[in-house]
Amino acid sequence: MTQLTELQAQASENLHTLGDFLRFAASQATLANLYCGHGTTSIWDDMAALILGGLSLPMDIPEWVWNSRLLPHEKTTLFRLLVRRIEERIPVPYLTHEAWFAGMPFYVDERVLIPRSPFAEIIEAQFAPWIAAETIESVLEIGTGSACMAIAIALAIPSAEIYATDISSEALEVAKINVAQYDLAHQIHLLQSDVFSNIPAGQTFDLIISNPPYVDAEDMASLPLEYRHEPTSALAAGVDGLDIVHRLLKEAAQHLNPGGILIVEVGNSSGALVEAYPSLAFIWVELMQGGEGIFVVTREAL
C-alpha cells in the first residue's frame, strides 16, 4: 500500500466539499511533482479538471459549487482517479476521457494523442489571411487522431468537404466516435492512410493540414512520464523530428489545387526544418494565443 492510498480513510472522513478535495489533491500532486502539459499549465487547474471531469461536471461551474458536499461514492471515485494520476502519471484527459480543442470537448483515450495544438487559433480564423474561406471546398488532414481538427474545420467552414486520415486504425475508431458525436459523418470522411499512400493520385485539395509526429530523438528521450501514455507513433519522428514532414513536403504539391496551401505544425523541430530546406519559402504563423512552430507553404512554392 502506498502512502497516498493510506490517506484514503482519513481523507474520506475529513474532506467534505469539492473545494476540500481540490486543496488536498493539489497538495498531493505538488508533492509528487506532476507534469502538466495536456490541456492545463498548473497543478491547480490539472486537479480541477480531474475533479470536474471525474464527476461529469462542466468546466465552467459557478464558484459556489466548489462548496458543495461530496457523497461517499463520489469521494471514492475522486480518490481512485487521484491515485492513478499521481502513481501512474496518467494525464487527466485519459482518466476523464475528455479533452478540449477550439473550445469544444472531445472523447480521447490512449489510442490517440491528447489535443493541445495551437492550430485552433488558425482554424477559428478560417485560415485567413493565407486563403479565402469561401474558396475552400476540399480539405485533407494528415494524422487526424481524435479528429478534433477536422471537426473544428467542418464547423468553421460548413461548405468544405474534409478527408481526415490516420495510419492508425485504432485512432480512427476514436475519430469515428467524435465525428458521430458532432453529427458530421456527411462532411468528414475518415480514411486509413500512411501520409498520402491511400489518397488517389488524381485527387486534389484546396487545403492540406497536418499536426504530424515531430518530436526528435533527443526530446523523446527526455519526455516527462505523462507523455509515455500517448502513442509513440504519434510523437516520435526520427533523429531530426521530420520523418513525416519530409514526406509531406515531397508529395503535397501533387495533391494541392492551384492556389492551394499546406499548413503543418513542427514545434521544436522548426530549426531543423529551416536547415533542411533553406530555399523553401516557409511562412511562419504568428499566434496571438500562444504557441509556435506552425508553417504555411503554397503549392507554387512547393
Same domain, 165 and 278: yes
Confidence of residue 14 (pLDDT cuts 50, 70, 90): confident
Domain final position from 40, 71, 96:
96
CA 221, 225, 231, 235 torsion-angle sign: negative
pLDDT of 1 > 60? The answer is no
Confidence of residue 201 (pLDDT cuts 50, 70, 90): confident
Q: What pLDDT does residue 11 have?
A: 77
Same domain, 285 and 254: yes
SS3 for the chain, per residue? CCHHHHCHHHHHHHCCEHHHHHHHHHHHHHHCCCCCCCCCCCHHHHHHHHHHHHCCCCCCCCHHHHHCECCHHHHHHHHHHHHHHHHCCCCHHHHHCCEEECCEEECCCCCCCCCCCCHHHHHHCCCCCCCCHHHCCEEEEECCCCCHHHHHHHHHCCCCEEEEEECCHHHHHHHHHHHHHCCCCCCEEEEECCCCCCCCCCCCEEEEEECCCCECHHHHHCCCHHHHHCCHHHCECCCCCCHHHHHHHHHHHHHEEEEEEEEEECHHHHHHHHHHCCCCCCEECCCCCCCCCEEEEECCCC
Same domain, 81 and 219: no
CA 167 from chain centre, in angstroms, equals 16
Same domain, 58 and 168: no
Same domain, 277 and 172: yes
Same domain, 66 and 88: yes
Q: Rounded CA gap, 152 and 100, in Å? A: 11
Domain final position from 31, 61, 96:
96
Residue-range definition of the domain harbouring residue 106: 101-298
Confidence of residue 228 (pLDDT cuts 50, 70, 90): very high
CB atoms within 10 A of CB 181: 14
Q: What pLDDT does residue 57 have?
A: 95
Q: Which triple of cell numbers denotes residue 206?
A: 484546396
Q: What is the pLDDT of residues 123-149, one digit of tens each?
A: 999 999 999 999 999 999 999 999 999
Same domain, 30 and 110: no
Same domain, 166 and 249: yes
Same domain, 172 and 190: yes
Q: Rounded CA gap, 59 and 67, in Å? A: 15
Domain final position from 61, 96, 131:
96
Question: How many structural domains does the chain have?
Answer: 2
Same domain, 148 and 170: yes
Q: What is the pLDDT of residues 152-163, one digit of tens each?
A: 999 999 999 999
